Chains A and B, each alone.
Chain A
Amino acid sequence: MPRLTQISFVIGLTIVGLVFVAAVIGPWLTGHDAFAQNLNARLIPPVWMEGGSSLHWLGTDQLGRDYLTRLLYGARISLFIGVLTVITSGLIGTSLGVLGGFYGGRIDDAVLFLITCRLSIPVVLVALAVVGLIGSSLTLVVSTLGLLLWDRFAVVARATTMQIRSLDYVNAAWCSGCSPLDIMRHEILPNISSHLLVVCTLEIALAILLEASLSFLGLGVPPPLPSWGLMIAEGKDYMFFSAWVIMIPGLALFTLVLGMNMVGDGLRRAFGTQVIK
């Protein structure tokens, strides 16, 4: 019988997979333009509610744009931001962590200092300040988050590198004439990649949430781009009369982040038993 964690892993993977597919092809399938306004058809409720129409399955927003199309387009933005942020922060964090863990001594002290400094910076505040000063754009959100969220990568990469660097196969690699760079690339990185993959999934979820918070505060992606956080923000004026306006993107956000975390948890358990002997 499959264990509960395996079930949750499969569920998580399904959620993330569905969101991914929906984000890639979804906006073309709904037959609506995510940006086309129609003020005559504002705030039509979803199809299952009274007054809903099968023309707009999830209804329309306050400017009459098709909500389903915007939701799917928003998934695209969320995943794009999540993945790109993690690529940036992963590169920074992993390089720093591996260098520190591998060389130890002064270099490690420097890396630790950087990590401590980074941990003392409140991410949301800095992101708010940067976006507030320079103005909001997709690139800016990605680069700000990417430059701020590398701490967990660095901590994990550093700790696992330290565990691996004195193992027999690393010594054997030294004896076969590897340079330090060879060792890091060929012996250390492949063997810590499972740990980093777990961090990746968790960080993607975190980045998506942070983007939503920033957008909610009006400092994330600029309108009219449909981000889930922005959709919640735009809908908050109407939430007492049409609660679904914020329920739908909120639920989508919750589901995606939950799915990501379930995948991360499943990966961690799957690797947990057999990493680093």
Chain B
Amino acid sequence: MTPILDVRNLAVRFGPTLAVRNASFTVQKGETHCIVGESGCGKSVTALAIMNLLARNARRDAQAIRFNGQDMLAYSDRQMEDVRGNRMAMIFQEPMTSLNPSFTIGSQMIEVLRRHHATTRHEAEQRAIALMQRVGITAPHMRLGQYPHQLSGGLRQRVMIAMALMCDPELLIADEPTTALDVTVQAQILRLLAELKQELGLGILLITHDLGIVARVADHVSVMYAGEVIESGRTAQLFANPAHPYTRGLIDCVPVPGKIRPGEALGSIPGTVPVMKDGFSGCAFRFRCPQASEVCTQAVPRHALGSDHIVHCHLAPSQGAGQ
């Protein structure tokens, strides 16, 4: 089956700084693919690079970015505008500021549909109401006429999701969609996304730093570090058998209620993500890795552990059938 999104060797650079290096992943229809990593490791840049919406000083290189088998690298600006919001939609981290404060919810939703499809205002409004109902917004008729500042954060994120679905996209890119919401709303939004995925056969590319979310909703995970996908695999596989020291570190950092006693330090990985410049070689994690050794300064090998489980690390092959 052709994946909805197939990214091959994506690289993004801002001047001499390498924000993303050799990132490859695929998103299948009806599947949630999570990209995990801490702040500054290139997750959001990856999403923007797929949309071709990077800042002007950024350069995007890739072997291929295929959307339903078509290479989007060859698309003109006009063609990309047709894809964006129409076949590929995005929702953001900050629902509080992602809606235009000058227009009502209704007019913004209708606008999205009418930008891409020839529909009447009435049809668009009907679709907006239906979708608002679907994403769990009560009294959609009333909400249509309201301005963003009249809605709560959770409600706005629901509006953003409904708006993203207006044109019936095949791929939904969600950039930390629940970070700004409180936990109870977070769970509702995640459940909603999972339901929509099943119902509409959406492919979802979910960007997050929260492994709790990954474990709950992802089918597939790519762990990013300093702009590279360092480990990827099916969620169950990866959590049961994390091969990269960074993945293990991330999992150890998740606070589990009951496991940590009051006063005890929470898990952390010391240090911060290094800034990658030209000419860097070896493993980017070696400065923070507890198991780093001499060999880590050399080019990092790629190991396949099982069917889809891939890890980029010198120390990994001991765990499985290396190649």
Give chain B residues whose Cβ lies under 8 Å from the Cβ of A176: 84-85, 89-90, 112, 115, 163-164
**What 0/1 readout, one digit per residue, does chain B (70-81) give for beta carbons within 8 Å of chain A?**
000000000001
Q: Which of B75-109 contact A (CB under 8 A)?
A: 81-86, 89-90, 92, 94, 97-103
Which residues of A line the B interface, CB within 8 A? 104-105, 167-169, 171-179, 182, 186-187, 190-191, 193, 277
Determine which of A105, A167, A179 lies in contact with B97 in the assembled complex, contact meaning CB atoms within 8 Å: A167
Determine which of B82, B100, B101 lies in contact with A177 in the assembled complex, contact meaning CB atoms within 8 Å: B82
A168–B115 contact, CB under 8 A?
no
Say yes or no: A277-B101 contact (C-beta < 8 A), given A171-B53, A175-B51, A177-B82.
yes
10 new A-B contacts, CB < 8 A, other than A167-B97, A169-B101, A172-B160, are A169-B99, A171-B53, A174-B51, A175-B85, A175-B89, A176-B85, A176-B163, A178-B115, A186-B111, A191-B101
B98–A174 contact, CB under 8 A?
no
A174–B53 contact, CB under 8 A?
yes
Give chain B residues whose Cβ lies under 8 Å from the Cβ of A191: 100-102
Determine which of B51, B92, B112, B116 lies in contact with A168 in the assembled complex, contact meaning CB atoms within 8 Å: B92
A172–B83 contact, CB under 8 A?
no
B85–A177 contact, CB under 8 A?
yes
A179–B81 contact, CB under 8 A?
yes
A190–B100 contact, CB under 8 A?
yes
A168–B85 contact, CB under 8 A?
no
- CA–CA, A104 to B55, complex, Å? 12
A172–B92 contact, CB under 8 A?
yes
B53–A186 contact, CB under 8 A?
no
**In chain B, what residue has the closest Cβ to A187?**
B100
Determine which of A171, A174, A190, A193 lies in contact with B103 in the assembled complex, contact meaning CB atoms within 8 Å: A190
B56 interface residue, CB < 8 Å from A? yes
**In chain B, what residue has the closest Cβ to A191?**
B102
Determine which of A169, A174, A179, A193 lies in contact with B100 in the assembled complex, contact meaning CB atoms within 8 Å: A169
- CA–CA, A4 to B85, complex, Å? 48
By size class, the interface of chain B is 20 to 34
- CA–CA, A14 to B163, complex, Å? 43
Give chain B residues whose Cβ lies under 8 Å from the Cβ of A169: 97-101
B111–A177 contact, CB under 8 A?
no
Say yes or no: A182-B115 contact (C-beta < 8 A), given A175-B85, A175-B89.
yes
Give chain B residues whose Cβ lies under 8 Å from the Cβ of A167: 97
A177–B81 contact, CB under 8 A?
yes
**In chain B, what residue has the closest Cβ to A103?**
B56
- CA–CA, A187 to B103, complex, Å? 9
Give chain A residues whose Cβ lies under 8 Å from the Cβ of B163: 176
Give chain A residues whose Cβ lies under 8 Å from the Cβ of B101: 169, 191, 277
- CA–CA, A179 to B82, complex, Å? 10
- CA–CA, A172 to B111, complex, Å? 13
Say yes or no: A177-B86 contact (C-beta < 8 A), given A190-B103, A277-B97.
yes
Say yes or no: A168-B97 contact (C-beta < 8 A), given A176-B85, A177-B84, A177-B85.
yes
- CA–CA, A174 to B77, complex, Å? 12
Q: Measured between C-beta atoms, what is the minimum distance from B53 to chain A in Å?
A: 5
- CA–CA, A178 to B82, complex, Å? 9
Give chain A residues whose Cβ lies under 8 Å from the Cβ of B89: 175-176
Q: Measured between C-beta atoms, what is the minimum distance from A94 to chain B in Å?
A: 16
Q: Can you offer 16 A-B residue contacts whose CB atoms are under 8 A?
A: A167-B97, A168-B92, A169-B99, A171-B92, A171-B98, A172-B99, A175-B85, A176-B84, A176-B90, A176-B164, A177-B83, A179-B81, A186-B100, A186-B103, A187-B100, A193-B102
Give chain B residues whose Cβ lies under 8 Å from the Cβ of A178: 81, 85, 115
**Interface-centre pick from A167, A174, A190, A193 (highest chain B CB count, 10 A):** A174
